Amino acid sequence: MGVFNLFGLFGRGKTERNGYELYGEAVRVARLPWFYAKLGVPDTLDGRFDMVGLHAYLLIRRLSTEPDGKALSQAVFDAMFSDMDINLREMGVSDLAVGKRVKTMWEAFHGRAHAYAEAMTTGPEALADALARNLWPDERQDAAASRLARVVYAQDAHLSRRSLAQIVARDDIFLDPEVAAS
């Protein structure tokens, strides 16, 4: 029995199931090898967390613009941190430490989401700077960060053209990042 069926058995609603499925789509795109091989995003736990967080942020940002999307955006957020909890436990983090680690991850996500939201209203250079600070903190990769900023703007524009029904159906909600970068 899959995770999604398990939640259905315990009376979780359609919104929660859709949130998990949409979060899964954000994870799928965030794990595409292009980000790691072509942009040099660190293929580490932190690098992958940042890419998942970035795609979840874009999805939550879009869903939050819809009156009927607010509960779904919360469900995506909840799915992300439920998944983080499960992954930490699978990696062997003790039960006592999981809560603290998840809280640290929540704070990191919240800080990044705030920085990305502010930077996206300021412009591509500000977004590239925020991405560089978060994804390449030890050795800035400004060219890669600028290219990733183009991808983020393209993804954001693409998501804005998708209806809520298309998003819920997971109908072409994210662009291929290589195409979005060009």
Question: Is-contact 89 29, C-beta < 8 A?
Answer: no
Angle subtended by helix axes 45-63 and 124-135, to nearest 10: 140
Q: In this predicted model, what pLDDT tens digit does every residue of 133-179 receive, in sequence order? A: 999 988 889 999 999 999 999 999 999 999 999 999 998 999 999 99
Q: What is the pLDDT of residue 102?
A: 72
Half-sphere exposure of 102 (CA within 13 A, CB side): 20
For the chain, which residues make up each domain, given as ranges? 3-181
Tokens for 8?
A: 């259905």
Q: What is the pLDDT of residue 12?
A: 55
Is the per-residue pLDDT at 8 higher than 60? no
Distance CA 127, CA 149 (A): 6
Q: In this predicted model, what pLDDT tens digit does every residue of 79-108 receive, in sequence order? A: 988 877 777 777 777 777 777 877 887 888
Name the pTM for this structure: 0.87
